């Protein structure tokens, strides 16, 4: 209950202060707005660059996975070709 009463008193005092110091409040807003826009824009640029780097990293990882898969397929094909070559050589050998 004391917290509620303190909150009500603070809200009433804030409203009264805002009425009496309206011009000063607007001056603060005028000064804070450009800084807020500047910092918000800088944050957006940073997040955008980070997102682009993540996409590049993911693309590179996907390409590496595809390359590894292709290498495994090539190794498998080489092993199969070697097996076929051995089988062919076995049939080519002259029978005595």
Tens of pLDDT, residues 43-95? 999 999 999 999 999 999 999 999 999 999 999 999 999 999 988 888 887 66
The domain limits of the chain are 2-92
Q: What's the per-residue H, E or C state across the chain?
A: CHHHHHHHHHHHHHHHHHHHCHHHHHHHHHHHHHHHHHHHHHHHHHHHHHHHHHHHHHHHHHHHHHHHHHHHHHHHHHHHHHHHHHHHHHHHCCCC
Tens of pLDDT, residues 28-57? 999 999 999 999 999 999 999 999 999 999
Q: How confident is the model at residue 96 (pLDDT cuts 50, 70, 90)?
A: low
């Amino acid at each position: 209950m004391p917290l509620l009463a303190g909150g009500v008193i603070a809200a009433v005092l804030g409203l009264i202060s805002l009425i009496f110091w309206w011009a000063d409040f607007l001056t603060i807003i005028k000064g804070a707005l450009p800084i807020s826009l500047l910092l918000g824009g800088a944050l957006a640029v940073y997040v955008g660059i980070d997102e682009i780097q993540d996409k590049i990293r993911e693309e590179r990882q996907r390409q590496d996975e595809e390359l590894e898969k292709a290498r495994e397929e090539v190794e498998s094909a080489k092993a199969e070709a070697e097996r076929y070559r051995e089988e062919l050589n076995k049939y080519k050998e002259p029978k005595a």
